[in-house]
A = this chain, B = another copy of it.
Amino acid sequence: MAVYTDITDAELETFLAGYDLGAPISFKGIAEGVSNSNFLLETEAGRFILTVFEHRPGDLPFFLSLMQWLAARGYPSAPPIADRQGETLGAVRGKPAALVAFLPGLSVRRPTIAHCREAGEGLGWLHVSAEGFPDRRANDLGHGAWARLADALAGAAEALKPGLAAAIRGDIDLFARQWPSGLPEGVIHADFFPDNVFFRDGRFAGAIDFYFAAWDTQAYDIGVALNAWCFEADGSFNVTAARALVDGYQRRRPLSEAEKVALPILAHGAAMRFFLTRLADWGATPDGALVRPKDPLEYERKLAVHRAAGEGGLALFGDG
């Protein structure tokens, strides 16, 4: 959670002058977003989230176009709001900024099996809704990036836990040998964590934060979600929750046999991705930011679960 950028009332007025949304009624910094600052804004025209970006401004047009595309196709998400010139990408204090509609809903901290099923359906729905989206963005945190990142962080990994650098090296070697190819690709969310998914009355009500979205293997996105939704607080993997998530997903987009077989290694790789970036962030929190970096050990434990499951994988479909 972070509010890096402080916005004065005068700056807010200058920003809003470019939009056809009437006068501001209330404006509050909210404790969401790891690499950006978010504000809940109410104007005479409704409620919005103003996001000010601290990083990766070059890809913003992709993200904003995707959000427009998804909303236009009826996917429950927060569409960006265009200014008087039709632009969705604005600026506050010289930083890129975007206004999106307020999306009601509650995220859950401790998902139940039912939540996992609903989240899976929300993810499958997202993949189907994104089909045909014409823009491309390579996944710069995808499979191709991990070997180099792991090398660069080998010392930090070893410092975190003796023996970890070698275990990571072993994982990277496994991925080099066995990473699946030829699976269906498309636009993935790539950060489909519980805090980015909203529910109402226990039903999936929408997804937010598309700022890691990229072109990649669709089933890899399920791997990300399995790690984020289906581990217990004690570190164990809840196969029932995982099956519910995959089952929910297939309500919207049935998986091929090849995708099902690949899910364990895809989830293993997804755990590597979040372990590596959390390890990198652990020692590198920006000055002046009110950030609590996420503990890399959480994903170190998830990696270990995937590693221990080995070739057989997580038995997602084995005996169910």
A residues in contact (CB < 8 Å) with B: 1, 3, 6, 8-10, 12, 23-32, 40, 42, 102, 104-110, 198, 200-201, 290, 292
Contact = CB atoms under 8 A, between A and B. Distances in A.
B107 A25 contact: no
A27 B292 contact: no
B290 A25 contact: no
A286 to B, nearest CB: 14
Nearest to A30: B28
A84 B27 CA distance: 31
Contact of A31 (B29, B105, B110, B201): B29
A200 B24 CA distance: 8
A29 B29 CA distance: 9
Nearest to A292: B290
A79 B292 CA distance: 33
Contact of A30 (B29, B107, B110): B29
Contacts of A8: 108-110
Nearest to A111: B9
Contacts of A24: 106
A247 B103 CA distance: 43
Contacts of A26: 102, 104-106, 198
Contacts of A28: 30-32, 40
Contacts of A32: 28-29
Nearest to A200: B25
Contacts of A30: 28-31, 40
A15 to B, nearest CB: 13
B31 A106 contact: no
B9 A110 contact: yes
Contact of A108 (B9, B42, B104): B9
A199 to B, nearest CB: 8
User: Which 6 residue pairs spanning A and B have beta carbons closest together?
Assistant: A29-B31, A8-B109, A290-B290, A3-B31, A9-B108, A28-B30
